[in-house]
Each structure stands twice: as structure tokens, then as C-alpha cells.
Amino acid sequence: MKKILAVTGCPTGIAHTYMAEEALKTAAKKLGVEIKVETNGAGGVDNAITEQDISEAVGVIIAADKDVNPDRFNGKPVIEVPVKDGIHKAGALVEQILSGNVPVRKGQASQTSSSAKSDEVQSVQPTESIGRQIYKHLMSGVSNMLPFVVAGGVLIALSFLWGIYSADPTNEQYNAFAALLMKIGGQAFGIMVPVFTAFIAASIAGRPGMVAGFVGGLVANATGAGFLGGIIAGFAAGYLMLYVKKMLDHLPRQFEGLKSIFIMPLIGVFVIGAFMFLLGEPIASINEGMKSWLSSLQTANPILLGIVIGAMCSFDFGGPVNKAAYVTGVMLLGEGNFYFMAGVSAACIVPPFVIAFSTTIFRGKCFTDDERAAGLVNYVLGSTHITEGAIPFAAKDPLRVIPIMMFSSAIASVLTFLSGIQVPAPHGGFLVLPLVNKPLMWVLCIFAGALVGAILLGLTRLSEKRKNKGPVAEQAG
């Protein structure tokens, strides 16, 4: 039996990673081929691929939106695609690997092959587009930042259970444990930009990039440049260190240690640090302008703001557009604005509930047994702020399902803003309800949007089923 390998990984390492794993395993089983899937999730690497696995495999599928060390597969036929293709096109990917019509990845493993094979290695392997590379580097930063955001943000939010001023020793609400939670959470929350920046740079240039990127992120924090400054510092540090490494490659091997622990960090930290101190103030002005505009829109036109946020959060279910809205919410959360995150969280929670409610309301009428089972799982996913549970349903009929999800999320987000709901935690779904100022109202806003979407989805499915009933019946006869 032929053996193939696969590697999956998504920015957050929560849902897409394992959905792609399951889809690839199912496709391989149908085609009668052995597969080993390595997952690069939030908890690290599971089912790691070994050198023996690589030597035995006929090809490799990399379905990832983050760095998964693809160079280890040099000399093997390799397909590199976004993680969503691992979910939606698993069968086609497995078939393509088995067909043998896959370019061999460049690398030294092919040096012993024939000259024709060597030529193939050097010329056939496609390169990723610039946009794809930038996206992967950016998502590497996001995925490594999120645990700090969630842990720090939730601890800060928990401190508010003793009162909004419970960390202030001069206030009558002061509580020593609440103050401790605030301090710990504040430290974790405070380094999210440096971590974000460091891992963008590390994705580009490895450890030298990480050092310069982390310092660039610290300076971005100090100057008020925030996430926008962090993005600039991360990419600047990464590409600078690639250039410096190339310039120093001619040094004798005995200077390798000096180069890696002294020369490169010194150049990177100084250049990026100075660059960010010069650029920090202008970027901070842009950030302040954006925050002021969003804050004014929040009070002057909450309906428009809710529509925009809702549409963004459900456009790509955890992808870059969704993350842009989420990161904006986190940025404002750090400024003490808890209203914006309430709308973002509501919009992210709605899609899985649309699926859950629709498969319950229209049970047996237009959903298969597998879809109804997935609907039950989405009750849990929705309750814990995991938007990705809606992806399998959206993948089957994106032109109908995605607009329904965007509309539903917009309703929930608009209602949340109009109700003046505040959510001080950046994640957690209904687990953080004790921290919400109007918990019951927030749940009702979310359920209202989800119910509208569930009915629309069910009616769409029924309409499609009726439309297909005639031709199917004729074929059966």
C-alpha cells in the first residue's frame, strides 16, 4: 500500500488544523492509501513525521497557513496549499499525489538523482506568491500572540468581578487577589505586541529575526505605535536580518558563533530599534485617529459599525478578514473600550449557532445525519467562541451560506452595540458571561442573529431540495 504524508496547521491551531487532518484521513481511506498526518496545533506538534516516514512516502501534502518546516521534505513530491484546501479539496489533493504529477521540492535530497531529475527539482518547483508569503508570516505572529491575549485578557477581566476599581489600593473596592490578577494579566497582555512582532520576524528570518522583532515590538509599545507599528517592525526586522545574513555569509566558519550571537543581534536590535523610535510617533498618531473614529462611530452610528464588524467576522470564519476585526477589538480592549469587543465576540459566536439552530429546527427535513451530528457539536463551538465550526457547511455552498452568516453576525453585532453591552475578555464565549455587564441581553442579541440565520439557511436548503426533487424522481423512475 502506498504511503503519503500530510502536515496541517492554521494560525490559531484550534479548528482548521484538525478539520484538515480529518478531511485528509477520510479522503485517503476512500482511496485505499495509507496516510500519516502531522498537526501543528495550539498545543504544539502532534504525530510528528520522522525521517523514516519521509523515506517511505511517495509524496507530501502541506496544508498550512503557518511555517511547518517544509524544508525537511526537500527531494520529495510536495503539494503546498492553504489549510482551507486541506478541508475543502482533500480528495483532489490525495489523488494528485497518487498521480505522480507533482513537482519535487527543491533541496539536497535530489542531488544523487539523475540529471533529468535534478533539472526538475531546480525548475519545476513553484514559488509562493508574495501575498501568500506575507499572509503566512502575519498569521504566524497572530497564532503565537493569541495565547497571551486570551490568558492575559481573561485574568484582567476576572479581576473586575470584585469591582471595576478592585485593583486600585486607594479605592474602597480594592481586593488584594483581584489586584494580583490584574498585575499578572497586565504583564501577559502587555507583551502581546512584542510577541506578535517577534514571530512575524522569526517566520521570515528565524531566530535572528525574532530578537530584532521583539525589540521592535517593545519600542512600538513604548511609542504608542501598537499593532500597526508591530506589523511594520516585524516585517522590517525579518527582511533586514535576511539581508544581513546574506551579507555575512562570506565570513569564515570560525566566525559563525560570533556572527549569530553578537554581530547579527547587535545590528538588528540597533537598526530596528532606531527605526521604530523614529517611526513610532507618526504611527501612534494614525492609531489614535483610527481609535477616535471607531469610538465616535460606536456612539454616532452603531448600526453601521455593527454591519461592518459582523460582515468582517463571518466573511472568512477565522481567516485574515475575521482576524483584522478581532485584533482591532483587542487593541481597543487594551485601551479600556469593552463595547467594541462585545460586538466582535457576538459576531464570531453567531455562525456556529446558525448551524446548530438550523439543524435542530429543520431536523430531518433538509440535513443529513452527519450534518445534524455536526450541528450538535456547533452548540459547544459557538458557546466557546470558535467560529470555524461553520466552515464545512459554508464550503458546500459558499455563495448562499456565507452571505447568510454575514447578515446574521451583523444583526447580533448591531444589537450588541445598541444595547450598550460591555465584554472585558477577548475570548471565551459564554464562559466569560459572569464578566459581561448585561449577560442575558448579550446572549439574546447573539441568539436573535443566529435564529434569523438558522431560518434563512433552513429555508434555503428546503428550496434547493424541492428544486432538485423533480429531476431526481425522474431518474429514479
Catalytic residue numbers?
Answer: 10
* Residues 6 or more apart in contact with residue 309 via CB below 8 angstroms: 325, 340, 343, 344, 347, 409, 410, 413
Nearest Cα residue to 90 out of 18, 5, 21:
21
Biggest alpha carbon–alpha carbon distance for the chain:
82
DSSP characters over 281-298: HHHHHHHHHHHHHHHHHH
Measured from the Cβ of residue 171, the count of other Cβ atoms closer than 10 Å reads 12
CA distances from 373 to 23, 359, 379 (A): 16, 9, 11
Question: Cell 442575558, residue?
Answer: 440
Per DSSP, helices labelled H in 130-191 are 130-159, 176-190
Which residue is associated with the grid cell 513525521?
A: 49
Q: How many helices (H) does the chain have, and how many strands (E)?
A: 19, 5
Cell of residue 113, nine digits: 538523482
CA nearest to 61, candidates 96, 22, 101: 96
- Short-list 206, 229, 203, 207, CA closest to 140: 203
Q: Closest by alpha carbon to 76, among 168, 5, 1? A: 5
Under 8 Å between Cβ of 286 and 320 = no
* Residues 33/98, Cβ–Cβ less than 8 Å: yes
Is residue 435 within 8 Å of residue 425, measured between CB atoms? Answer: yes
Question: Which three three-digit cell numbers place residue 293?
Answer: 473614529
Cα dihedral sign for 265, 267, 273, 275? Answer: negative
Q: How far, in Å, CA of 64 to CA of 128, rounded?
A: 13
| Cα within 13 Å of Cα(33), Cβ side | 27
Backbone φ, ψ for residue 34 (5° rounding): -80, 140
